[in-house]
Amino acid sequence: MTNYDPRDPRYRGPDQNPPTRAYSQAGDYSQYGDYRDQQAYEPQSNQRPAKRPRRGPDIDPLLFCGGVLMTGVVTGLAAWLVGWIIRIITEKVNDSGQLGIWNPLAQDELWFALVGFVVALLGGALWYLLQVGTPAPGQFYRWVVGLLIIASVVVPLALSAEISTGIGTAVMHLVIGLPVFSLIPTMGSASRKKDAGGR
């Protein structure tokens, strides 16, 4: 702190001559305003609560559910159409009597359509659960659904008493499985939320 000489004419008493430098050692911060004002604008980063990591995929649930429902509709329609075609061909062959009596479909085509719709809904639920609880959900989904499709095709061929019934059932299972294998992940990717700047 600067010492003042009482004999100096500029000295006007201790009450009238405050020290000119209050920050001689720490530096003069007067040009930056009051230090308390600076504190008011400093971000209190250490007081912000830590955000918990979000669980599950960042998707629009309404869009995803709509996509899964439409996948069920497509799967059901595909199963009904293929079943109807197989039924028409079978009736033509049976009417001719040249190749004997065929019965390639163990169930009605409407039954396969209903099964296709339900399987698509189960596929959507499986995709979402894998997104929540596994580190590589896409890989697991492809493996699980792919193995189930292979099993649903091979088992009727191996266990059916009539080869025609086994072939027809295997074809219907393949028709049901392929849309679930391909469309459900596509619906999940298309339902992901976009950033505000990317819209």
Contact 111, 168 (CB under 8 A): no
- Whether residue 117 is contained in a domain is answered as yes
- Whether residue 4 is contained in a domain is answered as no
pLDDT at position 33 is 52
pLDDT at position 22 is 47
If pLDDT is split at 50, 70 and 90, which confidence band does 23 have?
very low
- Whether residue 93 is contained in a domain is answered as yes
Q: Model-level pTM?
A: 0.67
CA distance 140 to 127: 9
- Whether residue 17 is contained in a domain is answered as no
Which of 5-9, 78-82, 87-91, 100-104 is least confident? 5-9
Q: What is the count of structural domains for the chain? A: 1
Domain, as residue range, for 89: 61-192
- Whether residue 26 is contained in a domain is answered as no
Q: 178 to each of 8, 75, 151, 182, how far by Cα in Å?
A: 100, 9, 13, 6
Higher pLDDT, 94 or 167: 167
pLDDT digits (tens, 9 = 90+) for 100-132: 566 677 788 899 999 999 999 999 999 999 999
- The values of phi and psi at residue 116, to 5°, are -60, -40
- Whether residue 112 is contained in a domain is answered as yes
Name all contacts of 91-97 with Cβ < 8 Å and 24+ positions apart.
none
Amino acid at 61: P
Higher pLDDT, 43 or 126: 126
CA distance 149 to 131: 21
How many other CB atoms sit within 10 Å of the CB of residue 175?
19
pLDDT digits (tens, 9 = 90+) for 156-198: 999 888 888 889 899 999 999 999 999 999 999 999 887 534 3
- Whether residue 141 is contained in a domain is answered as yes
**Positive or negative CA dihedral for 147, 152, 153, 159?**
positive
- Whether residue 72 is contained in a domain is answered as yes
